[in-house]
Amino acid sequence: MTILSFTLILLLGAYLAGLAGSLTGLGGGVVIIPLLTLFFHVDIRYAIGAALVASIATSSGSASAYVKEGITNVRLGMFLEIATTTGAVLGAILAIYTPVNLVAILFGVMLIFSAAMTLRKKNEAALLVGSKLSYALKLNGSYPTKDGPVAYKLKNIGGGFSIMTLAGMLSGLLGIGSGALKVLAMDTAMRVPFRVSTTTSNFMVGVTAAASAVVYLQRGYIDPGIAFPVIIGVLAGAFTGSKLLMRINVNSLKLIFSVAITLIALNMIYNGLNHKF
């Protein structure tokens, strides 16, 4: 395969990854890493390095649009970034000393969990009264709809913060945004409405990825020849996804996406168990 064909295929794959990641809140890494490792046979640590850089691009591309539209809860995102950033640095350091095949198996398991979380029914019922901590930290908010702003209150702030620390650790270890765990923390534990949890997750991904990307950069696991086309493709896909989210019904997309990443996950686990990485 020539360098030109490699770059063009990687650009297209990165675009689709950014588009899917922006629409589902899972991040582009769930597509980028399998594409690089299974199709191009790139070392998984270099694939994770590229995915982390792509996650920063995804966040930059979609989060700005969501913040402008008033959907993202910026204050909540900045509060939870304390947890995800701490976990991301710990996960990135741990990844350096973790066997490659074990990383692949963990990645596959996380993909299956992400697929299940994507398909589960989301809780859109808003709480009338939030927890004391949500009021003290001013984390409650509202988001725009066709019928006007909808206010929401939050609960279980401590539980959500703990889950976010684990999400950050997995992000640093596996190179993915851990959007499924972030949505679990915000949607299930804290009762953040789905649109707000998805967009706030996108807002947080960049900071979390940047924290762990520093460790990969210091270890030489970020290759510009791989990372550059990934950044361009994912950024374009994320920008497209941010424009489409408010206009399309993403349920069918989520079903197809979940089936696809489940098949990819099984392949990753199989190859990891057979030490093919």
Taking only the tens place, the pLDDT of each residue in 167-218 is: 888 878 887 666 666 767 787 788 888 778 877 877 887 777 888 888 888 8
Write out the E strands in 206-253.
none
Task: Give how many domains the chain has, as a whole number.
Answer: 1
- Give the residue numbers spanning the domain of 215: 3-273
Taking only the tens place, the pLDDT of each residue in 26-37 is: 666 777 888 888
Residue among 1, 50, 7, 8 at smallest CA distance from 29 = 50
* Of 16-25, 38-47, 87-96, 201-210, minimum mean pLDDT range: 16-25
Cβ-contact 45, 39 below 8 angstroms: no
Percent of the residues in the chain that have a pLDDT greater than 90, as a whole number? 5
> What three-state secondary structure class fits 115?
helix
160, with CB counted inside 10 A (0-12, 13-18, 19+), is buried
Q: Which helix (H) or strand (E) segment is 252 a member of?
A: helix 251-273
State pTM to two decimals. 0.74
Residue among 29, 54, 32 at smallest CA distance from 42 = 32
